[in-house]
Each structure stands twice: as C-alpha cells, then as structure tokens.
C-alpha cells in the first residue's frame, strides 16, 4: 500500500505522542509538515480568546486579533492553568486594582511560533515549536539576572504573566487560548513533564522557596518533627516536599477532615483537626500528642488566618523554627506575645513570599522525585473547567469544593 508524506507525518506524530504520553497539541498541525528543527508546524487562527476580569466576580471572554510574533517573542497555545489564591482574591475584591485584567499565572502550553532570535530557554535548553513550556518572571530593572545566579531576589521585584496590565497586543495572562511571551521573559522547556505536573509547577515553586528559607535557619533536618498548618494546596504541597526530602515526622493541622486525611497521601504521619479543641492550649497539647509527646522542631504556617499565625508558636519547642508563608496578601494583624512566643523560646522565624528564579529549577526536580516516590501530586487537581466556564471555576474555588482548580483550553 502506498503511503504519502502526509500519512508518514501523521504516523510519526502518533508514535511520538505514545512515547511521551502527552498527546498532540490541540493547535492544528499544518499540512506543510516538519520544520527545520524537526518540529511540527502549526496552523494559527486569526484571533485569540482571553478571559478578562472586567468587574468584581465577573469574567468576560474577549476576542482579539492574533498579534504579530516579534523576533524575540514566543506564541504559546495554552493547555491548562491553575487558579491561585491570588487570582481568587483579585476576583473577589480587586485588592491590587488590576481590573480589567487577563489573569492566570499558573499556566503551561505548547510553543506554536517563535521569533527568529529564540533558540534556547532561560536555562540554556534548546527551545522550539512543539515544546511544552512554563514562564516565570519578567525582569525589567535587572535583566542580567540569569538562571544560575545565586541571588536573593524574589519575584516581588519583577512582573509575572497574568498579573500585568493589558497592552495593545493583549494575550498577557494564561487564562486564554494563546499567550504571547515577550522578549526578555523567563521561559522553561518542560517537555519531559506531564500536563498535571506542569500546571502545578508555579505553586510548587512557592513551597520550594519556603523550604529553602526554612533550611537557612539550620533547624530543619532529616529527623525534625514538623507541623504544617493549613491543608489547602499550599500546605499539602509543603508536606509532599518535606517527604521527598526524607522528613517523615509531619503532623498537619486544619479544620477539614477530608483535607487532613488527604494530607497522609502527600506524606503526613499524623493530623489534628482544630475544630475538635477549645482553646489554643488544648490544641497545642493535641499537636504535641500527635508528634509523639514532643512539640515541633519546625512549623510551616500556610494559612492566611491571623488566628492561625497567633496559634502556631504554641506548637513549637524551645529553640525551634517557624516559616510564615500564608499571607500572600494582607490578611490582617495577628496578636502574639513577643516574650512568650519568640524571646523566651528563642524561636527562629523566617518569612517566605513566592519564589526566586532559581527555585524553578529545583521545582522541576521535586516534581520528578515526587512522581518517582509515588506521591500522587495530580490528585491535587480536583476540578478542570473549560475557559468559557471560568466564572464557575472561580466560584468552585471560593466555595472550597476542591483543592487545585484548573482552567483548560479547548
């Protein structure tokens, strides 16, 4: 039977897809076949759709002409994007005064077009059409920062796609069917990772950064007894990272039994539901019992609750450590007694907020290690919605009906 070139191309794509398990991108390959680098060429539509937050609790799907791809730009067909707590806060209150904005910063997709100057990603890995990618920071004030700088600069000094103003080319957030990555951005080729893992990269980087901050105290060790307070996606990812590091004495604290039970799948060895205890002293006693009769060597405070921050000091032994990472936005003031909570106990405290560029590289290795160790990270993604149903996705997130909510492009 005669086989023409188009048939051969289709067979090759099918074989490659079965080898990597990721499937063929929904961007349509053209009949023109493979490009010079061996990558499939894609037909690109004349327009793109973006979900714009145009008012409190209201997204609109807007359609724009597909922008020109400049010499240093990359056009990506979006596959999926996680809903972050920052997105949910902006949806509910607009605390950052971003409206109208194309949100979405936990996204991933397939490169469908690159400018002539684009050859490698931010880590020096070859990058071209067909590769799966994620973005990190957009540096303006210090573009010389590179992947391998051991810098202390976190993302607070840079921009992030999905949290930047709209412009005349649009496609600035991952809640879209296409996103235009401008020259000067950081981008990583993560074609060796499955879709769910790629959606989880950004939130996992937040926890990698927090754990690195915790390690800087010199207190967090293999045999440490650790408390993780808060079993939303952030706290659960924290547990998984600690477990892959070899820490096995991990107790979770939350008010939701289902989330507490799930924390054991992530690697927790005990849990305490604070709803069952009246008063912080009784709660601290329960945490101590769950840790085998001793208070924690280290605690991670992963909630945005001022009461949670006030309580967590009571769970930590004299000379112990605390990483506070729950307050991504201003959640209000917390009341502590500096003498009893910090000074007399000599607690070493570090704060953590988002991540540095270098943390992304560590995150890739963590997700591969978690998969190798059998930690079911993909179970964190409990709901997936189409882009057109993004308002429902956000309402599901706010109602806490699941863990990580994702918006998928069609």
Among 28-37, 279-288, 310-319, name the one with the lowest average pLDDT.
28-37
CA dist 80 and 195 (Å) reads 8
Q: Mind listing the pLDDT tens digit for each residue in 74-87?
A: 999 999 999 999 99
For position 410, what pLDDT does the model report? 79
Long-range contacts of 381-386 (CB under 8 A, 24+ apart): 381/82, 381/196, 381/199, 381/200, 381/405, 381/406, 384/80, 384/408, 386/410
224 φψ region: left (φ > 0), alpha (ψ -120 to 50), beta (else): beta
Q: Is the pLDDT of residue 11 over 80?
A: no
Q: Are 78 and 179 in contact (CB under 8 A)?
A: yes
Q: Is the pLDDT of residue 355 over 80?
A: yes
Q: Average model confidence (pLDDT) for the chain?
A: 88
185-198 per-position pLDDT tens digit: 899 999 999 999 99
pTM: 0.87
What pLDDT is stored for residue 1 in this prediction? 39
What's residue 357's pLDDT?
80
- Give the per-residue pLDDT at 212: 95
What pLDDT sits at residue 35?
36
- pLDDT, one tens digit per residue, over 107-122 is 999 999 999 999 999 8
3-state secondary structure of 235: helix
Q: Can you tell me the distance from the alpha carbon of 267 to that of 13, in angstroms, rounded to the nearest whole number?
A: 38
Whether a cis peptide bond, with omega within 30° of 0, leads into 292 is no
Beta carbons of 265 and 373 less than 8 angstroms apart: no
Q: 144: which 2 tokens?
A: 């010389």
Domains of the chain: 25-192+378-408 (3.90.180.10), 204-351 (3.40.50.720)
Task: Determine the number of helices (DSSP H) and then strands (DSSP E) in the chain.
Answer: 10, 18
Q: At residue 322, does pLDDT exceed 90?
A: yes
- Is residue 365 over pLDDT 90? yes
Task: Report the C-alpha dihedral over residues 367, 369, 371, 375, rounded to 10 degrees.
Answer: -90
Question: What's the pLDDT tens digit per position in 24-77?
Answer: 334 555 433 333 344 567 899 999 999 999 999 999 999 999 999 999 999 999
Q: Measure Cα distances from 403 to 171, 237, 274 in Å.
A: 27, 11, 19
pLDDT over 70 at 208, yes or no: yes
- The predicted pLDDT at position 142 comes to 57
% of the chain at pLDDT higher than 90:
77
pLDDT at residue 147, as a whole number: 52
Tell me what pLDDT residue 146 has: 55
Backbone torsions φ then ψ of 42, nearest 5 degrees: -120, 140
Give residue 329's pLDDT. 83
Find the mean pLDDT for residues 295-318: 97
CA distance 142 to 407: 32
């Amino acid at each position: 039977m005669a086989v023409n070139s188009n048939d051969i191309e289709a067979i090759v794509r099918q074989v490659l897809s079965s080898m990597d398990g990721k499937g063929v991108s929904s961007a349509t390959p053209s009949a023109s076949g493979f490009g010079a680098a061996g990558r499939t060429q894609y037909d690109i539509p004349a327009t793109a759709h973006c979900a714009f937050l145009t008012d409190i609790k209201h997204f609109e799907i807007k359609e724009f002409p597909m922008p020109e791809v400049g010499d240093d730009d990359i056009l990506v067909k979006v596959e999926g994007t996680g809903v972050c707590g920052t997105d949910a806060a902006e949806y509910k209150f607009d605390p950052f005064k971003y409206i109208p904005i194309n949100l979405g910063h936990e996204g991933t997709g397939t490169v469908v077009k690159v400018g002539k100057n684009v050859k490698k990603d931010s880590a020096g890995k070859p990058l071209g059409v067909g590769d799966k990618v994620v973005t990190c920071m957009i540096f303006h004030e210090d573009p010389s920062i590179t992947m391998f700088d051991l810098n202390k600069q976190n993302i607070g000094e840079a921009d992030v796609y999905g949290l930047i103003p709209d412009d005349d080319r649009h496609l600035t957030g991952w809640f879209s069917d296409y996103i235009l990555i401008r020259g000067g951005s950081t981008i990583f080729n993560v074609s060796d990772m499955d879709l769910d893992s790629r959606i989880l990269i950004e939130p996992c980087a937040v926890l990698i950064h927090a754990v690195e901050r915790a390690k800087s105290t010199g207190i967090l060790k293999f045999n440490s007894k650790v408390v993780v307070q808060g079993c939303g996606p952030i706290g659960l990812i924290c547990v998984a990272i600690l477990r892959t590091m070899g820490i096995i004495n991990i107790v979770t604290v939350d008010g939701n039994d289902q989330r507490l039970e799930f924390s054991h799948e992530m690697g927790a060895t005990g849990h305490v539901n604070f709803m069952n205890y009246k008063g912080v002293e009784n709660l601290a006693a329960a945490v101590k019992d769950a840790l085998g009769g001793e208070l924690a060597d280290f605690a991670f405070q992963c909630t945005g609750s001022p009461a949670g921050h006030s309580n967590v000091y009571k769970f930590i032994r004299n000379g112990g450590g605390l990483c506070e990472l729950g307050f991504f936005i201003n959640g209000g003031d917390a009341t502590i007694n500096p003498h009893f909570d910090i000074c007399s106990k000599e607690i070493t405290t570090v704060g953590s907020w988002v991540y540095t560029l270098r943390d992304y590289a560590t995150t890739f290795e963590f997700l591969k290690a978690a998969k190798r160790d059998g930690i079911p990270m993909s179970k964190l993604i409990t709901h997936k919605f189409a882009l057109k149903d993004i308002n429902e996705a956000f309402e599901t997130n706010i109602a806490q009906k699941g863990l990580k909510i994702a918006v998928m492009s069609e």
